[in-house]
Homo-oligomer: A and B are copies of this chain.
Amino acid sequence: MAALGRIVVGLNAVIFAAGEAELQVLVTESLDGGQTALPFGPFDPETHRTFEIGLREWVRGQTGFELGYVEQLYTFGDRGREAPVAALAGAEDARVISVGYLGLTPQARTLKGDEARWADWSRFFPWEDHRAGRPAMLDEFLEPALRSWCDEAAAPGRRAARYDRVRVCFGLDGAAWNEERALDRYELLYEAGLVAEAARDRGEPPANQAAGEAMASDHRRILATALSRLRGKIKYRPVVFELTPAEFTLSHLQKLVESIAGFPLHKQNFRRALDRAGFVEGTGRMESRTGGRPAELHRFKRETLKSGSALGLTISRLRDAAS
């Protein structure tokens, strides 16, 4: 068999933490400077027995804290994503594959060095945040731009196909907005040339207007993958509690879930769902700096995990009217 080309494997981490009622993601500067990037570390087969061990190790080294929940996301291997990274590994001609991981950690802890910092996820995906209603930039910029992208297609068949994708991804013309489609939406915007990465990767000059803040390489796509996965996962597994402090008010928990899902929830129904699932219990202690009636502090009942039956939190349509 012919010798295969050289391959370098890297690990990309999307690490989420709960800020002040806002989901945050850990970012750094790209190696060539300038662009925002996700933390990245080469995977060394000599010293790392598994990907996860390797990941935890360099996250500990770079940021000074221990990851809690960790889950593999996706492996990215398309050609053309290598440039700056291969150089790092001393292998300019190698193909770079990276295994993306999702990590969750309670609260945005202070970081060791100053390379890494926390950023609100919504900076990168402003069109995903519907907590205060459908964002204006969707109707004013993205939607018209996407429609004209559809019209650009030569054949009528392709035009219809483009339109269908746009319609279901962005909830146009009566279709419902599905928050889990964050990745599909990013990929569509990339194809349509509406994010800065698209022009950059084609070696073209940047478009006069682009959506959201760009990231290095395909990192924004990895981030979108993580967001989609997390949005799906909170519905059937109680992962939110990996992000909460030991004690929290129900409102705080709700704000956090809303920040992840990207839309407002109906408060009473959210609470009803919570205690049907039996996930939380009151501690008796109160949080009084609420601005109104004091809220009881609650804690996650880890035991319910073992009781097996009801896992997860049905957010599906707890949607509040506002959205």
A155 CB–B CB distance under 8 Å: no
- A175 with B308: in contact, given A45-B4, A77-B50, A90-B3 (CB under 8 Å)? yes
What's the Cα separation between A74 and B51 when bound, in Å? 12
**A1, B88: Cβ atoms closer than 8 Å:** yes
B-side contacts of A25, CB under 8 Å: none
Q: Do A46 and B5 have beta carbons less than 8 Å apart?
A: yes
Flag whether A309 is at the interface (Cβ < 8 A): yes
CB of A306 within 8 Å of the partner chain: yes
**B residues within 8 A CB of A176?**
308-309
> Of residues 172 to 193 in A, which have CB atoms within 8 Å of B's CB atoms?
175-176, 178
- Does A306 lie within 8 Å of B75, measured CB to CB? no
Residue A136 is within 8 A (CB to CB) of chain B in the complex: no
Residues of B within 8 A of A75 (CB): 51, 72, 75, 99
A9 within 8 A of B: yes
Q: What's the least CB distance linking A250 to chain B, in Å? A: 26
Q: Are the C-beta atoms of A50 and B72 separated by less than 8 Å?
A: no
Give residues 80-119 of A contacting B (CB, 8 Å): 88-91, 94-95, 97, 99
B1 touches A90 (CB 8 A): yes
Write the nearest CB–CB distance from A151 to chain B, whole angstroms: 18
Query: Judging by beta carbons under 8 Å apart, are A308 and B167 in contact?
Result: yes
Minimum distance in angstroms from A158 CB to a CB of chain B: 15
Answer yes or no: A6 CB below 8 A from chain B CBs: yes
Tell me the smallest distance from the CB of A237 to a CB of chain B, in Å: 11
CB distance from A51 to the nearest CB of B (A): 5
The answer to whether A308 and B79 touch (CB under 8 A), given A4-B89, A5-B45, A44-B5, is no
Instruction: Give 13 new A-B contacts, CB below 8 A, not counting A7-B45, A45-B94, A72-B74.
Output: A4-B91, A5-B46, A45-B79, A45-B95, A51-B77, A75-B99, A77-B99, A168-B306, A168-B308, A171-B308, A175-B307, A175-B308, A178-B308
Q: List 9 A-B contacts (CB under 8 A).
A: A4-B91, A7-B8, A9-B97, A45-B79, A50-B79, A72-B74, A164-B306, A175-B308, A178-B308
The 9 closest A-B pairs by CB, nearest first: A45-B95, A175-B308, A5-B45, A168-B308, A75-B75, A5-B46, A164-B306, A49-B79, A50-B78
